[in-house]
Structure 1
Amino acid sequence: MKEILTHINGVPIHRNFVENLPYNPHLKTLLKEKRRAGILGEVLFWKKVRAGIFHNIDFDRQRIIGSYIVDFYVKTLGLIIEIDGSSHDEKQVYDGIRQEYLESLGLLIFRISDFDMRNNIGLVMKDLEYFIIQHFGTTPSSKIP
């Protein structure tokens, strides 16, 4: 059994640390620019999760994985959170290739629309809790006797 990271709504959440992720150091400059850009949905999400205030889970903002920069990453879960704004409207093929690559590394991706982040933040955070419970939690009904 994997080590318990935290509990969400009474459900134990188990660590799922994905090791040896590829890293492209040539993206460091772009990473700094993205952090400074401060897209509203990302800033709002960061305020909800920074410093472990979301169930004591540590989130990294703007993390390089391979040749991509993801919006948020939870290394103890192998979980990526992407906040999709209007820039993603014409990039479905690119986003699909990117997602397939990241998932091939053993990572899970939770997508949020920038609109929902700005207008339904409470619901988004509940959806994130449910996603984490569903993928990393152990409920009494899922235990094998």
Structure 2
Amino acid sequence: MKDSHYNNKLKNFASELRNDSTDGEIILWKEALRARKMYGYQFNRQFAIDNYIVDFVCRKLRLIIEVDGYSHQFKTEKDKLRDNKLEQLGYQVLRIDEYDIKKDLNNVIRFIETIVAELEEKYNLSSNNLER
């Protein structure tokens, strides 16, 4: 999928953020999203879309996963505006609490798998037929 919303101007900042990931982001990346572990879908970390850098994105599914740590308790309105903009661009935004990743990773992974299956159906995709 050609991603017309990629913002090359934020590439260096996104790279810096990859090197400064939170514990929850690192766990989710290593255990569930890297190396096509999630049903064969490619996820990117700290990816620039429009004027935002998202924690994780699967461009084929148009799925964004945001890991919310403690500071997000004070950013609910800002996060809501950001999510609305990303949804207007055609993405589904999934917010996951960092605490849940650290304490209940298996259920977090099952939740993501459910969303991936729903999006496969929505876009008429099959993880068995993905380009590798």
Is contact 2:38-2:113 (8 Å) kept? no
Following TM superposition, by how much is the alpha carbon of 1:136 offset from its aligned partner in structure 2, in angstroms? Answer: 2.9
SS in 2 for 1:82: strand
Is contact 1:21-1:105 (8 Å) kept? no
More helix by share: 2
Scaled by the length of structure 1, what TM-score is found?
A: 0.77
State the 4+ residue runs in structure 1 displaced beyond 4 angstroms.
none
Following TM superposition, by how much is the alpha carbon of 1:33 offset from its aligned partner in structure 2, in angstroms? Answer: 1.8
Unaligned runs of 5+ in 2: 123-132
Following TM superposition, by how much is the alpha carbon of 1:23 offset from its aligned partner in structure 2, in angstroms? Answer: 3.3
Query: How many pairs does the alignment contain?
Result: 121
* Cα RMSD (Å): 1.5
Scaled by the length of structure 2, what TM-score is found?
A: 0.84
Unaligned runs of 5+ in 1: 1-16, 139-145
Match of 2:67 among 76, 83, 94: 83
Could you tell me how far apart the structure 1 residues matched to 2:4 and 2:101 are?
Answer: 28
Residue 45 of structure 1 aligns to which amino acid in structure 2? Answer: L
Deviation string, structure 1 residues 83-106 (Cα, Å, up to 9, x no partner): 111121111111011001000011
Residue 98 of structure 1 aligns to which amino acid in structure 2? Answer: R
Select the structure with the greater relative contact order (CA < 8 A; seq sep ≥ 6): 1
Partner of 2:52: 68
Is contact 2:3-2:59 (8 Å) kept? no
Following TM superposition, by how much is the alpha carbon of 1:135 offset from its aligned partner in structure 2, in angstroms? Answer: 3.4
Could you tell me how far apart the structure 1 residues matched to 2:94 and 2:28 are?
Answer: 13
Which of the two has higher C-alpha Rg? 1
